[in-house]
Structure 1
Amino acid sequence: MQSEKITFAGALGDELAARLDRPEGPVRAAAILVHCFTCSKDIAAARRIAGRLAARGIAVLRFDFTGLGHSAGEFASTNFTSNVGDLLAAAAWMEAHDMPPQLLIGHSLGGAAALKAAPQIASLRAVVTIAAPMDPSHVTHNFGAKLDEIHAKGSAEVDLGGRPFEIRKQFLDDIAEASLADALPRLGAALLVLHAPRDEIVGIDNAAKIFIAARHPKSFVSLDDADHLISREADAEYVAGLIESWSARYLDLAPEPARPETPEGVVRVAEAEASGFRQDISIGGRHQLVADEPVAMGGTDLGPSPYQLLSAALGACTTMTIRLYARRKTIALTHVVCDVTHDKAHREDCEDCEKSGPKIDVFRRRIRLEGDMTEDERASLLAIADKCPVHRTLHGQAVIETELV
């Protein structure tokens, strides 16, 4: 994805810092991602979610609330109402730049803000909450013994995640009056609730209350033992994949422009992060895959390796070709399985190798055919496997044309 720094005016008039994560190809839809209480737009989970959506062709705006991260303003002057206002300002910026947001994703208190703002965003089609509280005032439990001091003196310094923040009484008064009861029944969009049963910051009962109060279409998915911040990479990847696949059902994705010279569409591969090997793969704008390397090779093993993808192409083409031939010849084939492995072999160990070089690539296929068939029919099906187009490509010569764009 391509990440662009932008700014816009927030609810209190301060300049808010944001990142617009654009897809490598055309923008097919737009989304806004809202971070958790006192967090920032740049936490790992937010970056991963934005990356997966960008691979689907969805531009994602993630911004820092007033007084947080790289945004200007005084955090002590903000409250839940101003957070909702910042979110609506983000939606207005997207609308003004021809990217009306169809998807809204909110994490923790940001999820509550997303639910509150959703009925006011006309273009919205889907809302996702991650570990969100049903009652925004739930965050006050983080203030502990400082609550009495805030009420008595009007403000107090509170330690939140190892950082000091000034919390004023106006924040407590505002959040005490905040309610999602009016917003949830009139979201006007599909809802996905994501929550971990063991979340120690926002209990799972909040997810149940949000789910019950909202109208259909709505879905709930448990995040098992994920922590509140979705800090583990595997959990962040799981959440990103869930959002990407679920939202595709509800968003109005603009079609990828067709190219006469590419009848099967473009397979676009873009690295997810420069620090690793994980790649986001978009196929014709319709299908999503992830490629990676094993941990032993320096990857994170969150997807198949390039050679495994190549083996998958050979296996899929083999079984499809066998099935097509069985249909044409009315052979009673009930099921076909093809196991493919890839390895390097010394050229002298290969009986049918004409390529030069000390080692060659060897793909081994083990094909299982099921059904009431004669030995001649099984032999003919096995023979036709060598006729599959991918087999011919791998066994023959291919031309790879490369240009710098």
Structure 2
Amino acid sequence: LIGHSLGGAAVLAVAKDIAEVRAVITIGAPADASHVLHHLGASLQEIEEKGEAQVVLGLKTFTIKRQFVEDVRRRSLREAISTMKKPLLILHSPLDQVVGVDNATRIFLAAKHPKSFVSLDRADHFLTDPKDAAFAAEVIGGWLPRYLAQDEPQGDEPIEHVQIMETGVGRFQNAVQAGRHRLFADEPESVGGSDTGPSPYDFLSIALGACTSMTLRLYAERKQLDLGRIQVDVSHEKLHVRDGVAGGENGKIDCFTRVISVDAELTEDMRANFVEIAGKCPVHRTLEARSMVETKIRSRDEA
């Protein structure tokens, strides 16, 4: 469990009661309930009277409900921390003006080993500087593998086809398994998704870009060309059909724009050759050709 600010207090309070939790990480977390309620200010009375209120904490607005206040008052964070029995990583900035760094000291002293504290030097409470956020992420990424088992595929053995299944998280999030590899598919927040993974059309662009890069790499090796690192940028849009181009639904056609970059200096002949070779990439050919999709429907418990 990872919690930032009030979320840090929340994960400290519940970690010992969740058997699946292997480790706990807090970022700028308060050490006691009174500190949490203090930051609600005048909104606390509104919460108690109306059941909820909009509360501004630092740079963000949160909806705080009466149940949260009651949970905070009922729980002793010090007791929860001391009996947690989970590895703990505490991240806190000595310059934090929202939740003072003394809170990190109190959490650290209350916790049992294994425990670690890392100072987010020069950071503010919300880690608004991307460099501070990146540093925190690097620390977390380096610390976690000691306590989490190596990721395993969803099944006992790699599957031969690609499997996509809804996770139940958000409106559109799907878990994707391809062989031994796992990732998420989702939609942007602008269309109702949670933006936890590439969109379906992003995956199409990924397929085209990756296949293009690999095809050019094979060509460069065969011709013994030192191209350096190959980069392919792909964008997708639906365009109105041009004269002489077969159109699809609503008179539009899918257009993938591909920009290939290499480290080597390029002659005009090389540019022309690369365009030709990129056009031979299997995914390119698949997208340009007519494909057939066969669909079958079954109940999940059917063999």
* TM-score (normalised: structure 1): 0.47
- 1:383 Cα shift? 1.8
CA shift digits 1:133-189 (9 cap, x unpaired) = 334664575899xxxxxxxxxxxxx94833588x9xxx89x9598485x568xx452
C-alpha distance in structure 2 between counterparts of 1:325 and 1:339, whole Å: 19
CA displacement at 1:283 relative to structure 2: 3.8
Corresponding residue SS for 2:29: coil
Matched, 1:191 2:89: yes
Which of 245, 258, 261 pairs up with 2:160?
261
Quick check: 1:136–1:178 contact (8 Å CA) kept in 2? no
Which residue identity is paired with 2:206?
Answer: A
Equivalent pair of 2:87/2:114 in contact (CA under 8 Å): no
1:120-159 paired onto structure 2 within 5 Å = 125-129=22-26, 132-135=29-32, 138=35, 141=38, 159=45
1:104-136 CA-to-partner distances (Å, cap 9, x unmatched) read: xxx354334356x48x96x75311336533346
Distance 1:347 1:179 in 2: 63
The offset of 1:326, in angstroms, is 1.3
Number of corresponding residues = 256
1:125/1:356 CA distance change after superposition, 3 Å = closer
Change (3 A) 1:272 1:196: farther
Report the identity percentage: 32
CA offset at residue 394 of structure 1? 0.8
Match of 1:335 among 221, 229, 233: 229
Q: Is the 8 A contact 1:137 1:176 kept in 2?
A: no
1-structure distance, mates of 2:247, 2:37: 73
User: Aligned pair in 2 of structure 1 residues 365, 128: CA closer, same or farther (>3 Å)?
Assistant: same
Specify every segment of 5 or more residues in structure 1 that has no aligned partner in the other structure, as ranges: 1-30, 38-106, 145-157, 227-237
**Which residue of structure 2 lines up, in the alignment, with residue 394 of structure 1?**
287
Residue type of the alignment partner of 1:292: E
Match among 119, 144, 148 for residue 251 of structure 1: 148
Cα distance 1:198–1:300, how it changes in 2: closer, same or farther (>3 A)? farther
Q: Greater relative contact order (Cα 8 A, min sep 6): structure 1 or 2?
A: 1
- Matching residue's letter, 1:345: L
Instruction: Quote the Cα distance in structure 1 between the aligned partners of 2:163 and 2:77.
Output: 52
User: In the alignment, what sits opposite 1:385?
Assistant: 278
> Which of 199, 204, 217 pairs up with 1:310?
204
Mark the CA change 1:356 to 1:372 in structure 2 (over 3 Å): closer, same or farther: same
Question: Are the equivalent residues in 2 in contact too, given 1:125–1:189 (CA < 8 A)?
Answer: yes
Amino acid at match of 1:191: L
* CA positional deviation for 1:287: 3.9
Contact 2:166–2:175 (8 Å) recurs in 1: yes
Cα RMSD (Å)? 5.0
Partner amino acid, structure 1, of 2:160: E
Aligned to 1:398, the other structure's residue is in SS state: coil
Shift of residue 401, structure 1, vs aligned partner: 3.2
1:173-212 equivalence runs, <5 A: 175=76, 178=79, 180=81, 187=85, 189=87, 191=89, 193=91, 200=98, 202-207=99-104, 209-210=106-107
Distance 1:357 1:160 in 2: 52
TM-score, length-scaled by structure 2 = 0.59
